[in-house]
Chain A
């Protein structure tokens, strides 16, 4: 019996006996990347079901309500998608940097800085008179700039001093959190706080800077942010796969030494990629501020950056699949409250399922062993080339 790490044999998975032909087909439709996450999801749902059964609830009832909560009505579908929108951005933040071999786990802080910048610019007095066509781009750009700067700092530190971005981004997450918390909660002096509100948050941004909504009846409402973030994902896909900058990024990620000798400025690429990465998180935050709430409240973004890591990893750090894995992730979170309310199963079951999916996708040898899926070439996570110092 071979274990999951067996060398790639000629026999394909599936029923077709003709090895060469069906291998071609599998490759053409590229089923492999979907197969493992799909099986991982099934396994994780099974384990979650066992947990639900242990606490004395019928798993089918619980999952029924979960699905109903996710996609039970048009409003719920819209709500699920709306909930997923910012996750696209926070996942892109990881994915872009990942291509350059950088582990940006600072989306948490970049979201906060992006959000607070967007809200700050959105409350400027002259913004009130601006038409939407000018006000919206300004707010969105402010968010991207805020996130981008917060992302560029670890990039600069990495390029200039060699400080590892995993560490600096974790530190910057905390610094950003405390800083932003002070900005929106300080009473004496008042910096950005809305004095009329009891909760610490900024004043509402100008009406003209609010993103138009498609659907108000869903919770949260579905707004133009969806289009913005999907466009951002497509732009990132094109940038990374179709431009010379993307080529440089990939080269730096695969082999910084070779990139250096090919005349690519590794340091410049690192700073640019980190700034771009932070800008993606900033975009997500700006879209939330301007589309969903109209104000900035730090709590909105708690955990969103870390979820983004998991979402990006599920999608193998590829921009287009990120859209779908983000929607899966966000819908589960959006559907869980109904499950808790109706079946009395803690919403945290969803968290467990998500963690298990990530676990099984990352350690795909387990899934391959159970479902007898052959090894594909180039699992980005199998070897940790990303962590090596340049």
Chain B
């Protein structure tokens, strides 16, 4: 008897927990606001007084006669501290003031990259640093991560977990460079473009393997992803030592940089922001198109329906199996392009395991963005910024009482933030409902 009563009680406490969840989340902004106030106080009391009180500058272009914003680090950081205290209070009082305070909080968070840089300048002997250039290198380094996260989106939104992004990118990077080495002898422009195309197709092939394994054979999708990562690692390593090395084309010519017509003529920033390499630019297009197709077209709606409730989708006449195949392979094409970024754009050569966990980072960026294209893009930018910042900080030789902030700490930061996001501390991230579940068509 008592055990039955216990189990009933257990059941009740479970259901109570479920009910109380939304209640908990409504108090979350108190913690967030308090954290912002605390941050502001720390900046104001501890950080600002310890910065060098000389003029520093954020430059918009290169040193000879730059356009720049001059400031004194203690004043700048002190003002920022005051700003965070204000935003913190606004956030705590959200219930009374209305939801516009959310924008203040977003502005506060968006301001942090610049604040970090200002603090770094306040501990450096250099008089200024180029912020546009930092943005450009962040965007460049974010390219494979943003592309990879779009791959993840196309796959997970249709209900297939894809942890094989890493392998898909690596396979595409390796086979594309092999094509380049064999076909063009490292000289001809058309061979380069052919190789990019090969990369895209190879990406599609790897994704097709994932799709066949998880849709046709219904095997665990995480295992399918592991298989792809392992296979790509072996295959590219094999091809590198057996084909690429023996072809003698160790390095080639990277994709040429070019300026976007009109936009690159904008004074001061145009020749930095709008002159670049093709895959980097293509990334913006892919993110935009992903958003457009996935959220503004009937086909995109079908894709998402298959990821949320495939049985309901089937009932209204959607061919779930075919939609899943198409969406996963489309994602694979995108990962292929990301692979080409590694071996044909950022460096014109292939090394073993050169993607170096970018596929997993892409996954993190996608989750950071709560399975939305623009959110994922923001996540990719965060990772790109962390990557670009650490080289910049090494250049600035920032030190705090003889302790140089190790680059590893900056590299760690985005991963830690992603965990906080996944754990629901910074808004809740919910994956597509039918993700990871095999689907069998009726009849």
Interface residues of A (CB under 8 A from B): 51, 55, 103, 105, 157, 160-164, 166-168, 170-175, 178-179, 181-182, 186, 188-189, 260-263, 306, 309-310, 313, 345-356, 358-359, 362-363, 365-366, 381-384, 386-388
Contact = CB atoms under 8 A, between A and B. Distances in A.
B318 interface: no
Task: Among A174, A260, A353, find the residue whose CB has the most chain B CB atoms closer than 10 A.
Answer: A174
Given A163-B422, A306-B230, A355-B230, A387 B220 contact: yes
Please list the 4 inter-chain residue pairs (A to B) with the smallest Cβ-Cβ separation, ordered nearest first: A351-B234, A348-B237, A387-B436, A355-B231
B403 A387 contact: no
B145 interface: no
Contacts of B431: 164
B238 A348 contact: yes
Nearest to A381: B220
Given A349-B238, A382-B219, 9 more contacts: A55-B242, A105-B226, A161-B422, A161-B425, A174-B357, A348-B238, A359-B231, A362-B213, A382-B218
A387 B402 contact: no
B406 interface: yes
Interface stretch (B74-82, B102-110, B359-367): B359-367
Contact of A263 (B7, B241, B412, B425): B7
Nearest to A166: B222
20 contacts: A55-B243, A163-B424, A164-B431, A166-B222, A171-B418, A171-B419, A174-B361, A175-B412, A178-B408, A181-B408, A310-B226, A313-B223, A354-B230, A355-B233, A365-B217, A383-B220, A383-B438, A384-B436, A386-B222, A387-B435
Interface in B176-222: 213, 217-222
B238 A384 contact: no
B1 interface: no
A346 B437 CA distance: 38
B320 interface: no
- Describe A's contact surface by its main secondary structure: helix
B227 A362 contact: yes
B10 interface: yes
Contact of B360 (A174, A178, A179, A363): A174
B53 interface: no
Nearest to B231: A355
A356 B230 CA distance: 9
Contacts of B236: 348
Contact of A387 (B222, B231, B237, B422): B222
Contacts of A172: 415, 419
Contacts of B409: 178, 182
B65 interface: no
A235 to B, nearest CB: 26
A175 B415 contact: yes
A98 to B, nearest CB: 10
B161 A182 contact: no
Nearest to B229: A306
A260 B233 CA distance: 41
B411 interface: yes
A362 B224 CA distance: 8
Interface string B70-88: 0000000000000000000
B60 to A, nearest CB: 32
Interface in B305-361: 357, 360-361
B11 interface: yes
B419 A168 contact: yes
B404 A188 contact: yes
Contacts of B6: 263
B406 A182 contact: yes
A351 B217 contact: no
Interface string B394-419: 00000000111010110110011011
Contacts of B361: 174
Nearest to A168: B419
B219 A363 contact: yes
B226 A167 contact: no
A387 B161 contact: yes
A160 B415 CA distance: 19
Contacts of A186: 406
B136 to A, nearest CB: 25
